Structure 1
Amino acid sequence: MSGGRKQVIEQRLMRRIVDGLAGWATYYQACNSQAHYDEGVFYEAIFAIAKGRGFTVIRQAMLARDVGQQGAPWALDFVIHRPAGRGSKHASLIFVEVKYLRGQRQTQDLRYLEADIVKLRPLKAAELECAAQIAACGAPSKFLLIIGRGDELDRFDKHKSKKNPRVLKMLRAARTMPTQKLVYRARASTYLASAHRWEVLAIGSPNWPK
């Protein structure tokens, strides 16, 4: 399969998800002014966008357990895939971890983002329970999908991090740099009791701190 064309298809889908989520967040807020927000609130919209573009979506894809392994198995938020020949000449495979950032505990938020990077960066398709289902889809593209209100994300502008400075730098760059390869962002404003600005970021693995 053509790696370049495969990646273009995957990147276009992530761009579509980012744009769609920004608009969906304003719709959801209009319908639920007192709603509690977390990652799960956005799962259905992510699923619907990817499925509507012809992809198969696996939510909470479980890591295959080793014999004798103890503890709860780790799950990947989304595996999005499509084999070659089903609406495209090229297979696609995307691993996505979703984070809703409230900006109230910046140190904790950055620690969680770093933990996602650490567990997602080395992950291979063969290590998931759905490995047989996605075996023909090639190597995965990997993205952090970050959602938050603009005023809450603005709190990271003044935050100083001793433990996770590179993750903080990644987040700031994704929000502010005019053009950055494999970083997609969308903003949508809404007005209820006061003005709010929703922001959605997708940050591809080449932009993650080493």
Structure 2
Amino acid sequence: MASLKCIKGFEQFSAALEQFPQNVARNVMRTGLRKGAELLHETAKNLAPELEKEDKRSRNSAVPGRLKDSIYHKLIPELSSGDLLQTYFVGVRRGQKSAQLKVKGGKILNLNAYYWTWVEFGHYYVPPRNALQKSVYSKKRLNEAARLTGMAVWIPPRHFMRDAWTLSRDAVMDVTIRYMEDRIPIEAKKLGLDWKAK
């Protein structure tokens, strides 16, 4: 239970109570959720598969570590409304297949892993067309024919985002709740409320 300390008069008490939820939402909830999102982010990065060497067939798509570097976390302000709701998103930068790689200081910057759903959910692989197939099929029609005839190979999924949530959801909740439990009394004390849990 909370006991009041150093508040004189109803106006100061009322102002402190009005300010308290805003301070908790801005200073406590947002940071607590960020800490949880960072933990989920790190777990997803650790679980994401990585190429052992660069794929020479595709200059832009198959760079070792690209999938790991594309995972991010971000506060979504348009879904965070007022004092009651704060929303963080942990996902993979999808983008488009980029024709140009941006390199700064020896590090590739525009790492959009447009193919991450293929890794997460699995996909069909169709070998390149030979000369006869090129004369008969367009690339799109060959893909359809390959699935029907069994020429396409099913590449099984390697779940990393789903597994990251399954493995770390309890830890994410613990980190978030522990942070909030530690910070809410501090926010109350800043406003002159002496917070004593009994």
Normalising by structure 2, what TM-score? Answer: 0.22
Higher relative contact order (CA closer than 8 Å, sequence separation 6+): 2
Give the number of the structure whose residues are more often strand, by fraction: 1
More helix by share: 2
Larger Rg: 2
